[in-house]
């Protein structure tokens, strides 16, 4: 029995070679490519400008492993969380975050995660596999369709801040960015895309060598190694000193200033001493800071800090010249906020 290959795993040149081998004209490859990556077709029969014979030929040799929305929850603040079912039955989650000025898609890069950060629900899941570039791409298309359907707007931003560590799925993550930003893809601006990482120094340097054009955010959450080791085991092999070196290397290669994401936990990293340590670290790396409200998870170790301590922390950073944004939580009532993605939808269970 012929094993069908996912056609979206092929390059344009490989599709053209297949067509040549089958006696089909070369220009058909461009048409197929447009259907796959510009029009986001999930079925060969939808490719209406191809002959019936060619559509049948494609369906005999290839498949399109399309992602589908299997469940959806809408928050009181209009945030929408989607359970995305993959071709093999696994499920990841994607979130549409609407604000007055933006429509942001938060998308996943892995099924589960291997980093076990203590504050993150996804870190409690086993990492089952990496997502393919087309599965990441499909999340963007599906969330964009939701934005248009529910709020009459297109996506303005994409953040790789869902389930998984993007830099541990480096090749497919970059391929997905290419398909999302390319003129023969979705054509979105790379400046509207942010890749968030827990901090893998050698891969941050590789992004610099590859001169990526998207934005990079580092999940920092503590500016001393002892505290960061406690909440993020990845720090034991990627210390703050190593990360600072890698981030400066990245900045020198790309000219892009990184963003530090800093979740504020009550009585753990929310004191003025912690704020001073963060200011010191910000002086080592060209960066701005996003302060994020903590979103409690079931049986979690941490609690949300008080508004008083949060504001004092933010004010200290600002007084020291650090560029600071305070990100309020969205979608908490449906477990769609930062750190809460853990496949808790009713139907979002792996087979």
CATH number at residue 230: 3.20.20.70
Strand pairing category for 287-293 and 324-327: parallel
CA distances, 302 to each of 67, 266, 329 (Å): 34, 7, 16
Joined tokens for residue 208: 């610099």
161: left (phi over 0), alpha (psi -120 to 50) or beta: alpha
Task: Indicate whether 212 belongs to any domain.
Answer: yes
Range of the domain at 310: 68-334
Question: Are 74 and 217 contained in the same domain?
Answer: yes
Answer whether 168's CB lies under 8 Å from 200's CB. Answer: yes
- Please identify every stretch of the chain with a pLDDT value under 50, giving residue numbers as ranges: 337, 339, 341, 345-351
Task: State residue 336's pLDDT score.
Answer: 53
- Between the CA of residue 38 and those of 23, 31, 179, 263, 299, what are the distances in Å? 25, 10, 9, 37, 44
Please pick, among 106, 113, 282, 338, the residue that the annotation labels catalytic: 338
Domain shared by 51 and 144, yes or no? no
- The residues that bridge with 95 in the sheet, in sequence order, are 81, 106
d(CA 94, CA 265): 25
DSSP states along 70-129:
EEEEE-TTS-EEEEEE-TTS-EEEEEEEE-SS-EEEE--SEES-SS--TT-SGGGS---E
Predicted pLDDT of residue 338: 54
Q: What's residue 350's pLDDT?
A: 37
Could you tell me if 34 and 159 lie in one domain? Answer: no
Contact predicate 198/143, CB 8 Å: no
Co-location of 178 and 267 in the same domain: yes
- Tell me whether residue 344 is in a domain: no
Q: How many domains does the chain have?
A: 2
Whether residue 51 is found in the same domain as residue 89: no
Tokens of 127: 């990492």
Same domain for 86 and 26, yes or no, is no
Lookup: tokens for 329:
């939580």
Of 13, 14, 93, 126, the active-site residue reads: 93
Does 268 fall in a domain?
A: yes
Considering the domain architecture, whether residues 34 and 161 belong to the same structural domain is answered as no
Q: Which CATH number characterizes residue 33's domain?
A: 1.10.150.530
For residues 276 and 42, what is the distance between their CA atoms, to the nearest angstrom? Answer: 52
Is there a domain that residue 52 lies in? yes
Q: Which structure tokens are listed for 256? A: 């892009």
pLDDT value, residue 347: 37
Within a domain: residue 343?
no
26 with 117, same domain: the answer is no
**Cα pseudo-dihedral 91, 92, 98, 104, rounded to 10:** -140
Q: What integer pLDDT is reported at residue 119 of this predicted model?
A: 81
Assess if residue 340 is contained within a domain: no
Is 92 part of a structural domain of the chain? yes
Catalytic site includes residue 93: yes
- Stated pTM of the model: 0.91
Do residues 264 and 270 touch, judged by C-beta distance below 8 A? yes
- Are residues 37 and 163 part of one domain? no
Residue 115, domain member (yes or no): yes
If asked whether residues 184 and 316 sit together in one domain, one would say: yes
Residue where a domain terminates, one of 63, 78, 106? 63
For residue 183 the two structure tokens come to 């003129």
- Both 253 and 113 in a single domain? yes
Dist. CA 327–CA 278, nearest whole Å? 17
Instruction: Please confirm, yes or no, whether 282 is among the known catalytic residues.
Output: no
Kindly report the number of other CB atoms within 10 A of residue 224's CB atom.
Answer: 16
Looking at the structure, tell me whether residues 136 and 185 fall in a common domain.
yes
List beta partners, residue 93.
Answer: 83
């Amino acid at each position: 029995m012929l094993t069908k290959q996912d056609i979206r795993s092929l390059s344009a040149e490989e599709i053209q070679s297949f067509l040549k081998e089958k006696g089909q004209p070369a220009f058909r490859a461009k048409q197929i490519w447009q259907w796959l990556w510009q029009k986001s077709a999930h079925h060969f029969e939808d490719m209406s400008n191809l002959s019936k014979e060619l559509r049948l030929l494609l369906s005999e040799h290839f498949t399109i492993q399309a992602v589908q929305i299997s469940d959806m929850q809408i928050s009181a603040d209009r945030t929408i969380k989607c359970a995305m079912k993959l071709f093999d039955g696994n499920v990841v989650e994607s979130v549409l975050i609407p604000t007055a000025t933006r429509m942001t898609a938060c998308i996943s890069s892995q099924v589960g995660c291997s980093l076990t950060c203590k504050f993150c629900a996804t870190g409690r899941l086993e990492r089952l596999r990496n997502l393919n570039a087309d599965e990441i791409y499909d999340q963007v298309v599906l969330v964009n369709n939701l934005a248009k359907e529910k709020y009459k707007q297109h996506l303005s931003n994409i953040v790789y801040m869902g389930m998984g560590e993007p830099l541990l799925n480096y090749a497919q993550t970059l391929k997905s960015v290419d398909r999302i930003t390319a003129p023969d893809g979705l054509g979105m601006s790379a400046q509207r895309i942010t890749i968030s990482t827990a901090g893998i120094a050698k891969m941050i340097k590789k992004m610099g060598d590859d001169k990526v054009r998207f934005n990079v955010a580092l999940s920092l959450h503590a500016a001393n190694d002892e505290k960061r080791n406690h909440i993020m085991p990845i720090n034991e092999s990627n210390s703050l000193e190593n990360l600072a070196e890698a981030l400066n290397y990245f900045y020198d290669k790309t000219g892009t200033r990184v963003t530090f994401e800093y979740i504020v936990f009550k009585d753990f990293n929310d004191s003025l001493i912690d704020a001073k340590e963060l200011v010191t670290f910000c002086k080592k790396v060209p960066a701005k800071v996003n302060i994020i409200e903590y979103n409690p998870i079931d049986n979690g170790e941490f609690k949300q800090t008080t508004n008083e301590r949060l504001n004092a922390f933010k004010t200290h950073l600002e007084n020291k010249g650090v560029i600071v944004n305070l990100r309020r939580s969205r979608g908490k009532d449906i477990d769609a906020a930062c750190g809460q993605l853990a496949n808790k939808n009713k139907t979002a269970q792996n087979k």
